[in-house]
Amino acid sequence: MAKVLEIKNLHVSVEGKEILKGVDLTIKTGEMHAIMGPNGTGKSTLASTIMGHYKYEVTDGTITLDGENLLDMKVDERSRKGIFLAMQYPNEISGVTNSDFIKTAMQARLGEDEHVSLFKFIKSLDKAVSDLKMRSDLPHRYLNEGFSGGEKKRNEILQMKMLKPNFAILDEIDSGLDVDALKVVGENVNNMRGDDFGALIITHYERLLDYINVDYVHIMMNGRIVKTGGKELIAKIDALGYDWLKEELGLEDEEEERKQHVVLGSCAIKKKTEAK
Ligand code: ADP
Ligand code: MG
């Protein structure tokens, strides 16, 4: 039976400022969803909140996995429940090799008397490294340390392939990738498709989605999902950007609003100094 990750009316604040303003989204295993949207609309905030990052405060709404409250769970519990986040900016961890990190994460998902077979682990790691056309020494280097931007992104996908999560949230795994790497990464994500795998792919370019066959495309603006459709939305955004949607929905332009505040702010300062 499909597993269900359900987000309802999610409101999230960061440092007292509301970023997500009522997100509704349901993802089932077997489905691939894309979220697109301009910069600063809350896509990464959504990803971090699903994973349980402490900085993101849920002020309203729910996130459940098969009816269980995810918000009550710590990050590692969420991971053991089968949720995986490929971060937009992966951390570098010195002193921990890539392969140790992956093995530990795999072990953490097993029961106390079960163990990751070293033989099987090495075999599947070698295969994943070659599938991703990564340099063969990468598993033995410290996690992400000195990795190029593209290598870090591939490395996130390597972890995903090894951990085989039920739900993968991939936050801009395409940024910093050249065309060849984009194809490799996209195809590897697409190959994950299966009854036990659901994905939320965050991107603001359509190019990655040339390689990933998504079922649904959501557009996020000003902290909400404002439109959901199929692949036809990708081509439309590629050709026209987001302005048509802002007009269609009568949305205020957050960027413009912010600029006006700055202008007002500097006017206010000017007035004060003039008065002196
Ligand atoms: P997107 O991924 O869509 O570009 P983000 O979710 O990264 O957008 O950011 C949405 C808004 O939330 C931005 O205004 C950003 O500055 C703010 N924000 C996100 N995370 C943090 C944080 N950790 N600290 C402060 N502000 C944050
Ligand atoms: Mg982001």
Domain residue spans of the chain: 4-97+163-241, 243-276
Ligand 1, residue 42: give the atom nearest the CA. 6
Number of other residues whose CB lies within 10 A of the CB of residue 90: 20
Mean pLDDT of the chain: 89
Cα dihedral: 33, 34, 37, 41 (round 10): 50
Summarised one tens digit per residue, pLDDT across range 131-188 is 999 998 888 898 988 888 888 999 999 999 999 999 999 999 998 898 999 999 999 9
In this prediction, residues 248-273 reach a mean pLDDT of 58
Give 205's pLDDT tier (boundaries 50, 70, 90).
Answer: confident
Relative to the alpha carbon of 35, which ligand is closest? 1
In this prediction, residues 47-76 reach a mean pLDDT of 96
Q: What is the pLDDT of residue 258?
A: 57
Q: How far apart are CA 83 and CA 25, in angstroms?
A: 15
Among 10, 43, 44, 220, residue to substitute to test ligand 1 (most atoms within 8 Å of Cβ): 44
pLDDT at 224 over 70: yes
DSSP conformation class of 20 = E
Q: What is the pLDDT of residue 271?
A: 45
Q: How far apart are CA 12 and CA 222, in angstroms?
A: 12
Ligand 1, residue 38: give the atom nearest the CA. 3
Q: What is the pLDDT of residue 275?
A: 44
Q: What is the pLDDT of residue 204?
A: 76
Give 264's pLDDT tier (boundaries 50, 70, 90).
Answer: low
DSSP conformation class of 31 = -
**Range of weakest confidence among 19-23, 40-44, 269-273:** 269-273
Does 3.40.50.880 match the CATH number of domain 4-97+163-241?
A: no
Q: What is the pLDDT of residue 261?
A: 54
Residues 6+ apart with CB under 8 A from 276: none
Q: Given phi > 0 = left and psi -120 to 50 = alpha, else beta, which region is 86?
A: beta
Q: What is the pLDDT of residue 175?
A: 86
Atom 5, ligand 1: residue with shortest CA distance: 42
Atom 16, ligand 1: residue with shortest CA distance: 40
Give 61's pLDDT tier (boundaries 50, 70, 90).
Answer: very high
Q: What is the CA radius of gyration of the chain?
A: 21
pLDDT at 18 over 80: yes
Q: Contact, 33 vs 50, CB < 8 A?
A: no
Q: Considering only the C-alpha atoms of the chain, give the largest distance between any 2 of them, rounded to a whole number of Å.
A: 77
Among 11, 14, 58, residue to substitute to test ligand 1 (most atoms within 8 Å of Cβ): 14
